[in-house]
Amino acid sequence: MQLFAALHKDLLLSWRTRAQASAVFAFGAAALLLLSFAAGPDAEALRHNAGGFLWVALLFASVLSLSASFQVEYEQRAMEGLLLLPASPRALYYGKAIANWLQLTVLGAMLVPVMVVLFDAGTWRVFPLLGVIALGAAGISAPGTLYAAMAAQLRAQQVLLPLLLLPLLVPVLLACVKATSLLVMGDPMNQLGSWMLLLVAFNAIFWPLGGLLFGVVAEE
């Protein structure tokens, strides 16, 4: 019950601050555009690296999104007010993490058409691609929510969050890039399943861990 209350709160906050989400999407799209310029005019190379570009852009955009999701919690210390209630910190964590996951999944899905246009990297395997984005977004959201809660209480939060989070997300980045590339370029050796399995395993570790640690991280 408390989980639904927390999720409702976070979705409501996301909706009321949707201008911020638009800015995050614009940032992601701009990053993709810049990467296309940096990679040069070789169409085959662009198509080959499209998955990598998509996930690097999404990763950087997600740092902004995660940071913003806790900015609203700490501007008037609303999160402290919630932690002082007889409410479970786990419910607060999962509410926030699920809301972040939904936001990042939508963001990733919106960046796919930009990738297709810029890199000519289309695929008909839309649902598997959405599955990769959903699993990748979950892999970013679980530790990202935890680290964002930690970094939000520190002065150098803008620097610390990517510094703490990005190294941890290397397995997610690797699996997502490979899986997306296989969907775009073709998968003759049927490797997609193993990369998806890696994403599932990462999520299976970090979702429970985040719930366990959030109470300790968020207080004081």
Partner 1 sequence: MLLPSTKPSDGTNSDAPGRVRELGPALEVRGLCRRYGRSWALAQVDLRLERGEVLLLAGSNGSGKSTMLRVLSGALRPDAGTIKVEGFEGRDEQRLRTALVGHYFNTYEALSALQNVQIFSRLLGRPSDRAALMPLLETVGLAHRADDAVHTFSAGMHKRLALSRLLLQQPAVALLDEPYGQLDPEGFALLDSLIDQMRQRGTAVIVASHLLEHGAALCDRALLLSKGRVQWTGPAAELPAVSKAASASRLAAARGT
- Contact status: 1 vs partner 1 (CB under 8 A): yes
Given 11, 13, 110, 185, the residue binding partner 1 (CB under 8 A):
13
The pattern of x and - marking residues 14 through 33 that bind partner 1 according to CB under 8 A reads: --xx----------------
Strands in the chain per DSSP E: none
Q: Which is nearer to partner 1, 18 or 158 (CB)?
A: 18
| Closest separation in Å from C-beta 102 to partner 1 | 18
User: How many CB atoms neighbour CB 70 within 10 A?
Assistant: 23
Is residue 141 exposed (0-12), middle (13-18) or buried (19+ Cβ within 10 Å)?
Answer: buried
Total of chain residues touching partner 1, rule CB under 8 A: 26
Q: Which is nearer to partner 1, 81 or 113 (CB)?
A: 81
DSSP designation for 152:
T
The pattern of x and - marking residues 67 through 106 that bind partner 1 according to CB under 8 A reads: -----x--xxxx-xxxxxxxx---x---------------
Q: Of 67, 76, 51, which is closest to residue 185 (Cα–Cα)? A: 51
- Asked if 66 and 144 touch (Cβ cutoff 8 Å), the reply is yes
